[in-house]
Amino acid sequence: MEYIQQQFIQMFGAEWGAMLFSLATNMTFIFAIVVPLLLGVAYLTFAERKIIAYMQIRVGPNRVTFFGIPWLRGWGQPIADAVKAIMKEIVIPTGANKFLFILAPILTIMPALAAWAVIPFSPELVLANINAGLLYILAMTSMGIYGIIIAGWASNSKYAFLGAMRSAAQVVSYELAMGFALVCVLMMSQSLNLGDIVNGQQGDSFLNWYLIPLFPMFLVYLISGVAETNRAPFDVAEGESEIVAGFHVDYSGMAFTVFFLAEYANMILVAALTSIMFLGGWLPPVDIAPFTLIPGFIWLLLKIAFILFFFLWFRATFPRYRYDQIMRLGWKVFIPITLIWIVLLGLIMQLPESVREFPPLNIWF
């Protein structure tokens, strides 16, 4: 690493060499995050089809394989789907606004990928260890809505536009509850840095994780995350039985696939954030020998996979919500719960030192 830095400084001079070196290392890190993420997205679609199939006593995709290896049957399915999507023609409707029509899917997937910049994978492994990491995440996820609105408007179709309005209103409503739930987390950790938030959950066992003191917030965050990513049972945007597919009804081929990729990338992001905020990130569940030997990176991946399983399980289990009930849940149930919990948490934190020493308060405060 230092040798390469020396080479850069020799080639471009002291100032420019250092700048270009940090640019090159950052680009390498970005690729090291984005490529596995996109592979994860591809295989999440496969996992979804397989898991829901088994829950419904079916088999799921079991044909496409690599090099004819029989025990890999089905594992080639996401690759085959991707190739199919790339081959298809992207139809741009005549009345559509061409520039915005193409821009919308890009705007949808950009924040889903950009938010990964501050996710810590282990104590040292993080692309940008910034102080305002949590705020950055909130800012990035709130930008995802532009893709939806622009897609609905640029298609120049009333069905796409109505779908965009439905999804946008839903995403805006649940963002509030999500933000308030995260306020509780940052009150506990007293830091906006995601690494510090995980370190604040360090202790003997999983009892120290924010999952226990903030359990209602965990539920609010998880359910809002499902609603935020427009997943079942909150997938009214593409309620097949009531309306046409929603804001992306006029999209085809790869442009449509990018919307799909963004949805799954957002699912993985919400799962990663839930694991970091509430499930202790890279920390093992119990701080004793066999668990601590496993690297923190693996623990984080396991927790992400666990939360993602919930997403798929929800989809196989619950019937779709009615639209007014979605709005009621967001505004009249979740936001009051989060506000009450914030006040409660503030009161507990202001208790005198002697009271806070009693168990179980001494674990968390």
Partner 1 sequence: MNFQDIIFYIFSAILIVSALGVITVRNPVYSALLLVLAFVTCAGLWLLLEAEFLAITLVLVYVGAVMVLFLFVVMMLDINLDQLREGFWKWFPFGAVVALIMVGEMTMVLMGKYFGLEEMPTPSAQDADYSNTRALGRLIYTEYAYAFELAAVLLLVAMVAAIALTLRHREDKRSTNSSKQVQVKKEDRLRIVAMPSEKKE
Binding residues for partner 1 (CB under 8 A):
15-16, 19, 100, 130-132, 135-136, 138-139, 142-143, 145-146, 149-150, 153, 161, 165, 168, 172, 175, 192, 324-325, 328
| Cβ-based neighbour number of residue 311 at 10 Å | 21
User: Which is closer to partner 1, CB of 88 or CB of 328?
Assistant: 328
User: Which is closer to partner 1, CB of 76 or CB of 246?
Assistant: 246
User: Which is closer to partner 1, CB of 4 or CB of 128?
Assistant: 128
Q: Given CA atoms 211, 214, 216, 222 in this order, what sign does their dihedral have?
A: negative
- What does the alpha-carbon distance between residue 177 and residue 185 come to, in Å, rounded to a whole number? 13
CB of 165 to partner 1, least distance (A): 8
- What does the alpha-carbon distance between residue 266 and residue 226 come to, in Å, rounded to a whole number? 10
CB of 53 to partner 1, least distance (A): 32
Q: Single out the residue of 238, 296, 304, 299 nearest to residue 270, CA to CA.
A: 304
Give 56's Cβ-side CA count (13 Å radius).
Answer: 14
- What does the alpha-carbon distance between residue 300 and residue 205 come to, in Å, rounded to a whole number? 15
CB of 339 to partner 1, least distance (A): 14
- What does the alpha-carbon distance between residue 130 and residue 26 come to, in Å, rounded to a whole number? 14
CB of 140 to partner 1, least distance (A): 8
The residues facing 205 across adjacent strands are: 286
CB of 138 to partner 1, least distance (A): 6
**DSSP letter, residue 203:** S
- Residue 210 in tokens: 């924010």
CB of 145 to partner 1, least distance (A): 6
CA max distance for the chain: 71
**DSSP letter, residue 319:** P
User: Which is closer to partner 1, CB of 145 or CB of 265?
Assistant: 145
User: Which is closer to partner 1, CB of 104 or CB of 214?
Assistant: 104
User: Which is closer to partner 1, CB of 75 or CB of 323?
Assistant: 323
CA 184 to chain centre: 19
User: Which is closer to partner 1, CB of 97 or CB of 205?
Assistant: 97
CB of 164 to partner 1, least distance (A): 8
